[in-house]
A and B are shown apart, each in its own frame.
Chain A
Amino acid sequence: MSRLFRLFALCLVFVGSLASAQTTLRIGSTPTGVPFTFLDTKTNQISGVMVDLIKEIGKDQGFTADVNAMAFSALIASLQSNKIDVIAAAMYITPTRQEVVDFSDPIYTYGDGLFVAAKDTKDYKSYDDLKGEIVGVQIGTAYIKPLQASGLFKEVKVYDSIPDIMRDVNLGRIKAGFGDYPIVAYQLSQGAFPETRLAKNYKAAVVGSVGLAVRKGDKATLDKLNAALTKFKANGTIDRILATWNLK
């Protein structure tokens, strides 16, 4: 009887290992980085450019993308502590980050956007126009250091997400907020914060490219991602996805 049981168990393991030939990679994304990654309340799923991209890569490279939502500032920590395998979010490839994670090839380039209250009609062009004011920025982004280093502002308040910054601009708690230009533009175009406007003539201070991130040394996954990205850049898949979200 026990011999039969052992045989059965062995069969299960064998079948199990065949089934897991289709691996699942856990993806980390944020719920408020529209249009790159966001929670679509209609479908209750995380959607967006980066999510579409990683799912396409999954189809191409043979893995299932299991998308998990978390705060932007928690993404790298989660990757390092093995809670996720890939970061698919609006995350710039920066030297600081490259010390702790490995990035794929760049996917899309953009700079920061400045937003203020709609009532505020001043034409903001750079940091200098906000000298002595209280400004807001998102935690964990590449925009914090330049803002703090400039020494121009009364206070640089750090927030969990861009909608939080917009809310405080709306309420007059802060004079202006900085965030990824596409995300800010999208949020405002959806009409979520009618009392906020983008400073049209503001020149981006921090321009960067977003990429997918994997754990340092995870060459296997990185190669898969880059192989797919190269293919997609050539056959126009990336352009197609960007166009779907009005980024092209």
Chain B
Amino acid sequence: MTAFALKDIAEFVPILAQGALVTIEVFVCGLIVATALGLLWALLRVSGVPALAGFSKALINTIRGIPILVQLFFIYFVLPDVGIQMTAFQAGFIGLGFAYSCYMAEVFRGGIEAVDPGQVEAAKSLGMSQAMTLWRVVLPQAFKIALPPYGNTCIMLIKDTSQASIITVTELTFQSKVIAASTFKNAEVFTLVALFYLLLCIPLIMVVGRLEKRFGRS
């Protein structure tokens, strides 16, 4: 690498770092929305109430059937026509959070349904209510089962934040596009951006691995 390339790196890294910060913000906000809503949809789906389960199933399948990019376009460009205005950042994390909630719902549902039904029957025979069974017996075990796919989905989410660049959220990918368009140094910029994403993802992967070791199935 020539000294000239090092000069470019010194110039680009601060701008990309700002973008990385926004990426993390979108990721965290989106993750909170996705986890909360995902848990809700999953519980609705296994609730046993046909109306709720049907609604949840329909929602999950519809949202999973539309590309996240298209959903982001909708939220940012189309909703204002019906009066729902929000900033790019809000549209970004709400859009990603909502889309990912449907994938999370399936992850949670898989965990819940994988818990041995015998446990549920045993809890019932002990006189536990459905809510208590869920809280005390099912969810703790479902958590362990769902942890690996949940972690996997988190890692996917952090990279999918790059899609928010298309609705002008100033995250990492967006910043790289702007730098590349004005300096034409595509090789340097996009290599740096790839490294940045790796730097963001690898700690996440390690954290998920640690959690699995601690809480997961032995």
Chain A residues, CB < 8 A from B181: 73, 139-140
Whether B184 lies near A157 (C-beta < 8 A) is: no
Bound together, the chains give a CA A149 to CA B168 distance in angstroms of 21
Question: Can you give 17 A-B contacts (C-beta < 8 A)?
Answer: A80-B186, A139-B177, A139-B178, A139-B181, A139-B182, A140-B181, A144-B178, A144-B182, A145-B182, A158-B174, A158-B178, A159-B168, A160-B166, A167-B77, A171-B80, A173-B85, A173-B87
CB contact under 8 A between A77 and B182, given known A167-B77, A171-B80: no
Q: Name A148's closest neighbour in chain B (CB-CB).
A: B182
Q: Chain B at the A interface: mostly helix, strand, loop or mixed?
A: helix
Whether A171 lies near B177 (C-beta < 8 A) is: no
Tell me if B120 counts as interface (CB < 8 A to partner A): no
Whether B80 lies near A77 (C-beta < 8 A) is: no
Tell me if B13 counts as interface (CB < 8 A to partner A): no
Chain B residues, CB < 8 A from A145: 182
CB contact under 8 A between A140 and B182, given known A157-B168, A167-B77: yes
Bound together, the chains give a CA A167 to CA B88 distance in angstroms of 13
CB distance from B2 to the nearest CB of A (A): 16
- The count of chain A contact residues (Cβ–Cβ below 8 Å) is 20
CB distance from A193 to the nearest CB of B (A): 13
What bracket does the count of chain B residues touching chain A fall in? Answer: 10 to 19
Binding site for A on B (CB under 8 A): 77, 80, 85, 87, 166, 168, 174, 177-178, 180-182, 184, 186
Tell me if A152 counts as interface (CB < 8 A to partner B): no
Tell me if A100 counts as interface (CB < 8 A to partner B): yes
* Cβ < 8 Å to B, chain A residues 82-101: 96, 99-100
Interface readout for A115-137 with B: 1 if CB under 8 Å, 0 if not?
00000000000000000000000
Bound together, the chains give a CA A90 to CA B180 distance in angstroms of 19
Q: Name B185's closest neighbour in chain A (CB-CB).
A: A100
CB distance from B177 to the nearest CB of A (A): 7
Q: Name B86's closest neighbour in chain A (CB-CB).
A: A173
Bound together, the chains give a CA A11 to CA B174 distance in angstroms of 52
CB distance from B167 to the nearest CB of A (A): 10
Chain A residues, CB < 8 A from B87: 173
Bound together, the chains give a CA A147 to CA B180 distance in angstroms of 18
Tell me if A50 counts as interface (CB < 8 A to partner B): no
Given contacts A158-B178, A171-B85, could you give 5 more A-B pairs where the C-beta distance is less than 8 Å?
A: A73-B181, A139-B177, A140-B181, A144-B178, A172-B85
Bound together, the chains give a CA A100 to CA B187 distance in angstroms of 14
Tell me if A76 counts as interface (CB < 8 A to partner B): yes
Whether A73 lies near B177 (C-beta < 8 A) is: yes
CB contact under 8 A between A158 and B184, given known A139-B178, A171-B80, A171-B85: no
Question: Which interface residue of B77, B85, B168 has the most chain A CB atoms within 10 A?
Answer: B168
Bound together, the chains give a CA A76 to CA B183 distance in angstroms of 10
